[in-house]
Amino acid sequence: MIYVILSLLSFSLLVFLVRWRRRRKKDLRDLLEVGLKNPYQFEEFAKEYLKEHGFRSVRTTRKSKDFGADIVAKRRGSTVVFQVKRRNSTVEKEVVKELVAAAYIYGATEVGIFTNNELSNSLKEELDGLKRSGGFIKKVHVIKNINPEEF
């Protein structure tokens, strides 16, 4: 009898988790669709997306005077600063200077770019150089081509 009850509880929990996950994905998709029209809403989407993908203590910074960081998060004990770029064209390399300054100011050892578009070749080269430099930045996260079809 106890096995039947435990089985039913396990099954109920599994159904609940599956439904919750589907709803969460729909909520993210809806937030992305709004975010693609509004840069501040895109930052909110990025924050929720990062939470879903293993980042903790995720918070957006002020809208101005944020020293180049749009989002500050934690991952495996490291602080990560993100630049969020909602663009109609590729993201260019000037982002790297802002990321390095923000990392220094926020005490981060990891940086990231979150965008709905591609990265320019010059930006990719800058990021590769940043990874190889052996400085205080230990890891670079790139989340690109975010679009509603992903959800």
- Every domain of the chain and the residues it spans: 2-146
Query: According to the model, what pLDDT value does residue 145 have?
Result: 87
Q: What is the pTM of this model?
A: 0.75
- Which parts of the chain register pLDDT below 70? 15-26, 65-66, 149-151
Please write the tens of the pLDDT for every residue from 9-41.
777 777 666 666 666 666 777 777 777 788 888
Cβ contacts of 48 within 8 Å, gap of 6 or more: 27, 28, 31
Assign domain 2-146 to a CATH class. alpha beta
C-alpha distance across the termini of the chain, in Å: 41
pLDDT of residue 23: 65
pLDDT at 31: 72
Give residue 79's pLDDT. Answer: 95
Strands laid side by side in the 78-85 sheet: 56-60, 71-75, 78-85, 110-115, 139-143
Identify whether the C-beta of residue 98 lies closer than 8 Å to the C-beta of residue 112. Answer: no
Sign of CA dihedral 113, 116, 119, 120: negative
